[in-house]
Amino acid sequence: MKSLIIFTLLFFVTLNLYAKSDVDEHPLASVLDNIKNLEDDFQKNLIRFQHKKSNKYILTINERNTLIGILSRYQVEFKALKDIFGKKNLSNLSINRRTDPHKIIDKIIYYGAAAKLLYGITKYPNLLGLLFEDQSSHNGPVNFFDKLISDFTQETYPCSNDDYYEDDSFEIDLYSCTYPRMIDFWDYKSDIKNIIVKSDIASSLQFLSLQYLENFGSFYNTILKNKKRFYKSIFLYKSIYNVKAKILETLGHISLASNNLISKDFQKNFDRAMEPADIAVVYRTGRLSNVIFTGNWTHSLLYIGDFNKFNTYFSSDPETTALYKQKCIDLNYSCVDFVGYMEIKYPFSFTRYKKSQNTKKPFTVIEGVRDGVILSLTRSVLKVNRVSAFRSKLNKVDKAMGIEQAFSYLGLPYDYNFDSRTLDRFICTEVIAWSFMPNSEINKKGYYLQTSIIGDKTVASYAYDIVKTFFLQDSLEFVLYYNAPADSEGTSALSVEDLRRTVDLSKD
């Protein structure tokens, strides 16, 4: 930490000296200034909050957008560095006693700056989660980061001197290898320092390059340690994703028949008791997928009600109407309320939902299943042995904003990685978690669900985490708990105390 503080202070001094030097018109000065500003933004807007968060494993929507923006800007600046230095000089710099010191400095600055960025991101699992998303959704920054960490890793493999010298008596030094890497510069930093200070390069740039070499040395061990987790995740999350998805999808189709499910009368009771934006968890015995989704609750859903209930619920709220009337004006939509806004914003999915009211199968639910995020029916989701439901304490306007967000996820694929940090695929509970997450940028209040940490700090949101949220937080209220045991007959309504026995709260 002390070295970081010193580095930061000296950086400002160096930039001032640099600006006054005979190379102040060099484009490098501008790029380095931009990178320093990015480092400040990264620290100010993301890193300093990580230790204060109640859930250190999940990025908020605001943080996620900030990280994408910062990575995009880093991508521009690192490309500029490559253009200034020359790509070949960075990856395959040939070193001998006549090598231009400028080229050595170029390599040090590039990978010294990379070290600080990589250290910051690989240190925090929630920041890494973004990098496991579909790369096409970020217009490049994820690809950029993946390539940067790969290039950086190559620079941490020392040159194999045995490839050049078989004589054990030969004295090994910096010049023993034709193409030394950054780790060789670090191992022979006294030699590097002599080369730099004896050169005719401006003193400010000499000083800056030596600081960047220290930057590399301070961070590379931590980066390599975290990099193993990163590449392990890349393999599990991307390389074999299609194979994993096919296996898990097949398991999801297999279930044993159950003679006793939630009765039709209790299904009707369920619809009468529920309000738009309520959430529910369910369980059905005999599903092979229960091997994956362990516990007494294996699926969750977002209840929106049929269109008539939806319309009545939200049209009666002045705050919701006022917000969406203003949104209609701001977006130049021909509407005056929430329903009108949704019809224009989601012309296919919301119109389909609305029209289903006039059929025998009205949609009432949004859920994430193996076919992706879909609209569904009460009677379909209640072909189960037990169901429990909860109501958030949010105002109607915040519930409306949550449902609006959920509609934006319709059609997205199922998340066979079960990683709650990503926003391009969803399992059931992830739909709820992201839909009702607070977002200060749009003045949206919300709530956070409990999460489960799986394996090497992978963050998952399962159905039983909703039940845990009810007991451990103050954001949800109990609505109902129905049980239809597979080994008996009939359905019964159970209590909160009965519900408590379905989850293990001792580890939370």
Q: For residue 455, what pLDDT is reported?
A: 63
Most confident of 176-180, 285-289, 291-295: 176-180
Q: Tell me, what CATH number does 295's domain have?
A: 3.90.1720
Same-domain pairing of 72 and 30 = yes
21 pLDDT exceeds 80?
A: no
Same-domain pairing of 372 and 313 = no
**pLDDT, tens only, 283-292:** 988 554 544 5
Q: How far apart are CA 377 and CA 303, in angstroms?
A: 10
Contacts (Cβ under 8 Å, ≥6 apart) of 188: 173, 174, 180
Which is nearest to 153 in space by CA: 81, 214, 239, 227?
227
Same-domain pairing of 117 and 199 = yes
Same-domain pairing of 381 and 416 = yes
Same-domain pairing of 277 and 145 = no
Q: For residue 367, what pLDDT is reported?
A: 96
Give the pLDDT band of residue 457 (cuts 50, 70, 90).
low
Give the pLDDT band of residue 434 (cuts 50, 70, 90).
very high
Question: Does the residue 244 lie in any domain?
Answer: no
Same-domain pairing of 16 and 62 = yes
Q: Which of 447-461, 474-488, 491-505 has the lowest mean pLDDT?
A: 447-461
Give the pLDDT band of residue 230 (cuts 50, 70, 90).
low
Give the mean pLDDT of 438-458: 84
90 pLDDT exceeds 90?
A: no
User: Which of 212, 239, 266 delimits the end of a domain?
Assistant: 239
Same-domain pairing of 134 and 259 = no
Give the mean pLDDT of 298-320: 97
Q: For residue 255, what pLDDT is reported?
A: 52
The H or E element containing residue 65 is helix 61-85
Most confident of 33-47, 78-92, 167-181, 461-475: 461-475
419 pLDDT exceeds 60?
A: yes
Same-domain pairing of 294 and 314 = no
User: Which of 330, 362, 394 delimits the end of a domain?
Assistant: 362
Q: For residue 22, what pLDDT is reported?
A: 42
- Please, is 137 exposed, middle or buried when counting C-beta atoms within 10 Å of its C-beta (0-12, 13-18, 19+)? exposed
- Using DSSP bridges, classify how beta strands 299-303 and 279-283 pair: parallel, antiparallel or unpaired: antiparallel
Q: For residue 365, what pLDDT is reported?
A: 98
375 pLDDT exceeds 70?
A: yes
Same-domain pairing of 31 and 167 = yes
33, amino acid identity: D
**pLDDT, tens only, 380-409:** 999 999 999 999 999 999 999 999 999 999
7 pLDDT exceeds 50?
A: no
Q: For residue 292, what pLDDT is reported?
A: 56
Report which of residues 253 and 281 the model is more confident about.
281
Question: Does the residue 507 lie in any domain?
Answer: no
End-to-end CA distance of the chain: give it in Å, rounded.
32
Report which of residues 431 and 165 the model is more confident about.
431
Question: Does the residue 395 lie in any domain?
Answer: yes
Which is nearest to 128 in space by CA: 402, 422, 397, 442?
422
168 pLDDT exceeds 80?
A: no
Question: Does the residue 355 lie in any domain?
Answer: yes
Give the pLDDT band of residue 321 (cuts 50, 70, 90).
very high
User: Which of 362, 382, 408 delimits the end of a domain?
Assistant: 362
Give the pLDDT band of residue 222 (cuts 50, 70, 90).
confident
Give the pLDDT band of residue 18 (cuts 50, 70, 90).
very low
Q: How far apart are CA 260 and CA 15, in angstroms?
A: 74
79 pLDDT exceeds 70?
A: yes
Phi, psi of 336 (to 5 degrees): -135, 0
Q: How far apart are CA 479 and CA 368, in angstroms?
A: 22
19 pLDDT exceeds 50?
A: no
Give the mean pLDDT of 122-136: 69
Give the mean pLDDT of 318-342: 98
Structural domains counted in the chain? 3
Q: Which of 76-90, 106-120, 295-309, 388-402 has the lowest mean pLDDT?
A: 76-90
447, amino acid identity: Y
Q: For residue 25, what pLDDT is reported?
A: 41
Tokens of 452: 């489960």
431 pLDDT exceeds 80?
A: yes
Question: Does the residue 485 lie in any domain?
Answer: yes
Report which of residues 478 and 420 the model is more confident about.
478
**pLDDT, tens only, 184-206:** 888 888 888 888 888 888 888 88
Q: Which of 172-181, 236-245, 282-291 has the lowest mean pLDDT?
A: 236-245
Which domain covers residue 274, as residue numbers?
A: 250-305+364-500
Q: For residue 51, what pLDDT is reported?
A: 66
Q: For residue 290, what pLDDT is reported?
A: 47
Contact between 251 and 404 under an 8 Å Cβ cutoff? The reply is no
Same-domain pairing of 280 and 337 = no
Q: For residue 122, what pLDDT is reported?
A: 76
Q: How far apart are CA 384 and CA 414, in angstroms?
A: 21
Same-domain pairing of 148 and 193 = yes
Look at the alpha carbons of 261, 264, 266, 267 in this order and tell me if their dihedral is positive or negative. positive
62 pLDDT exceeds 50?
A: yes
Question: Does the residue 505 lie in any domain?
Answer: no
Give the mean pLDDT of 232-257: 54
Question: Does the residue 508 lie in any domain?
Answer: no
Rounded to 10 deg, the angle between the 141-154 and 61-85 helix axes is 60
Question: Does the residue 274 lie in any domain?
Answer: yes
Q: For residue 53, what pLDDT is reported?
A: 64
Q: Which of 18-27, 355-364, 463-472 has the lowest mean pLDDT?
A: 18-27
Which is nearest to 378 in space by CA: 478, 287, 271?
271
Q: For residue 344, what pLDDT is reported?
A: 98
Give the pLDDT band of residue 84 (cuts 50, 70, 90).
confident
Same-domain pairing of 357 and 382 = no
